[in-house]
C-alpha cells in the first residue's frame, strides 16, 4: 500500500487532525491517506489536505519516505511539507483539525513512529525511515531513520 501525508505549517505551528474514522481512529495525525490509481504522491498530499483540513498547502515539497514493515508486507508513506496562510479549524468526515506549536506536539496521542521523524523534517532534513508494526498496525516494534539536510526554499 502507498500512502501520503502532509505537514502544513504556519510559522511555528502545524495543523494536525484528530482522527474520527479509518486507520488511526482516536489518534492525532498529520492529514493524509491512500494514493489513488494514476495519482502522484504530491497530488495525493494536495487532495488529502484539502479533503481533511480544507487547506490548500503552498510550496509543497516531499521531505520523507517512510517504509512500514508489517508481517510480509511493506507499506510506503511519502511525507510532504507545505505552508498555509490561514489558520482555521475544520471538521470533515475524517475528524477535526487543530493547530499545535511545533515545540509541544502531542506525541503521546500520535502514531508511535512520528516522534522519530517529525523533528528532523521540521529542522529541514529529508528523512528515510523503516519501522516495523504488527500486521494490523496495533503493535509498534521500533525502527530507525536516516536524515539528510535539505534546503526548503523556492527554486
The number of domains in the chain is 1
| Mean pLDDT, residues 121-141 taken together | 95
Residue 23 φ then ψ, to 5°: -60, 125
CATH assignment at residue 116 = 3.90.79.10
In a domain, 154, yes or no: no
In a domain, 155, yes or no: no
Q: Tens of pLDDT along 76-88?
A: 999 999 999 887 7
Q: E-strand spans in the chain?
A: 2-10, 13-19, 28-29, 32-34, 58-70, 73-83, 91-92, 95-101, 125-133, 140-149
Q: Is 93 left (phi over 0), alpha (psi -120 to 50) or beta?
A: alpha
CA dist., res. 149 & res. 37, Å (int): 31
Q: Tens of pLDDT along 28-47?
A: 999 999 999 999 999 999 99
Residue 155 has pLDDT above 70, yes or no: no
Amino acid at each position: 500500500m502507498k500512502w501520503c501525508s502532509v505537514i502544513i505549517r504556519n510559522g511555528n505551528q502545524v495543523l494536525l487532525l484528530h482522527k474520527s474514522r479509518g486507520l488511526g481512529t482516536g489518534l492525532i495525525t498529520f492529514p493524509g491517506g491512500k494514493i489513488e490509481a494514476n495519482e502522484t504522491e504530491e497530488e495525493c498530499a494536495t487532495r488529502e489536505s484539502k479533503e481533511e483540513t480544507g487547506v490548500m498547502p503552498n510550496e509543497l515539497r516531499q521531505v520523507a519516505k517512510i517504509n512500514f514493515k508489517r508481517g510480509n508486507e511493506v507499506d510506503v508513506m511519502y511525507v510532504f511539507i507545505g505552508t498555509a496562510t490561514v489558520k482555521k479549524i475544520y471538521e470533515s468526515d475524517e475528524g477535526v483539525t487543530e493547530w499545535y506549536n511545533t515545540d509541544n506536539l502531542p506525541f503521546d496521542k500520535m502514531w508511535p513512529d512520528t516522534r522519530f521523524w517529525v523533528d528532523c523534517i521540521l529542522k529541514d532534513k529529508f528523512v528515510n525511515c523503516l519501522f516495523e508494526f504488527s500486521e494490523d498496525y496495533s503493535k509498534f516494534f521500533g525502527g530507525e531513520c536516516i536524515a539528510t539536510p535539505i534546503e526548503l526554499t523556492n527554486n
